[in-house]
Amino acid sequence: MARVNLQRTIVVYLAWLGFIGTGLVLVLSDIAPVLSAYVRPENLYNFLLYSELFFVLALWPLFIPRILSEDREAPPVTAESGQALDAARGPADRAAGGGAPQSGAAPCQGQVHILMLQVVLLFVFVLPLAFICQNISNLGLWTFFKGQLQVAVLACFVAALFSLAADRKWRAAPAYYLGFFLSCAGLPFLYYLVLEFTGAPLGFLGIFSPFWAASRLDAEPTALIQCAIFGAAAVGLLLGPAFLKKTQSAAA
């Protein structure tokens, strides 16, 4: 059973606030004039969304295995406890190979509710900065809500994906980061190449890029489309394994 490592969760909060705060300091000061030239008051909230999206999509998966630490040390099995447990088991268990209990590492069980709690806390901590950026950019509450909803849904999707991977002992990181690169960089680059050489607008490719959607909160419903897609995927990752297990048990 996974347990929360308090020190590691605190590191996540500090990294979250430090990453976003450092980015805002760089663009609002003269420390990085290159960034300051591109970030203006009217798109400061978009820059905040870019920072949040990069953290939850690229850095948040690196913290998830550390948050879901496991209790690997099982109590030693003595002769008395082994005999007592063997007596408590029925004949069917012993016939099925249920011999003496094995000592050693317990399997890592992904606790998705722990990760969802971290997502909620991350957004609670960043809300003051988000409201400040919204006021500077002079945006409405609906635009503010769409941006934060997009980041929250993607963070929940990543949490559900890596929690399921921890349960099934899958190596999801390589395939995930490949998909992250293709959706966030590969497809937008393909869009610009096609537009430059053929003049054909392939705007539908932007649906797959969260950063593209964050840059067009007012102009296009791309952010809401992504919320629906990744929200449904997160629900499927959360409820799908339990439903399949229940179906298999009923069939047996």
Q: DSSP states of 132-145 as a string?
A: HHHHHHT--HHHHH
CA 20/CA 184 separation, integer angstroms: 19
For residue 30, the model assigns a pLDDT of: 73
Range of weakest confidence among 6-15, 27-36, 137-146, 229-238: 27-36
Highest mean pLDDT: which of 32-36, 71-75, 190-194? Answer: 190-194
Rounded mean pLDDT, 97-123: 64
Rounded mean pLDDT, 41-65: 93
More reliable by pLDDT, 139 or 94: 139
Q: Which of 65, 64, 60 is nearest to 20 (CA)?
A: 60
More reliable by pLDDT, 69 or 173: 173
- Determine contact, residues 159/112, Cβ cutoff 8 Å: yes
pLDDT digits (tens, 9 = 90+) for 195-213: 888 877 777 777 789 998 9
Residue 14 has pLDDT above 70, yes or no: yes
For residue 252, the model assigns a pLDDT of: 63
For residue 28, the model assigns a pLDDT of: 84
Can you give the pTM of this predicted structure?
Answer: 0.79
Question: Which alpha helices (H) appear in the chain, and where do they start and end?
Answer: 6-28, 33-38, 44-54, 60-67, 79-88, 91-95, 112-137, 141-168, 173-181, 187-197, 210-214, 222-251
End-to-end CA distance of the chain: 26
Please report which confidence band the pLDDT of residue 187 belongs to, taking 50, 70 and 90 as the band edges: confident
Residue 113 has pLDDT above 60, yes or no: yes
CA 93/CA 42 separation, integer angstroms: 67
Rounded mean pLDDT, 169-196: 90
More reliable by pLDDT, 59 or 242: 59
Residue 106 has pLDDT above 50, yes or no: no
Please report which confidence band the pLDDT of residue 131 belongs to, taking 50, 70 and 90 as the band edges: very high
Q: DSSP code of 4? A: E
CA 43/CA 37 separation, integer angstroms: 12
Please report which confidence band the pLDDT of residue 167 belongs to, taking 50, 70 and 90 as the band edges: confident
Q: DSSP code of 8? A: H
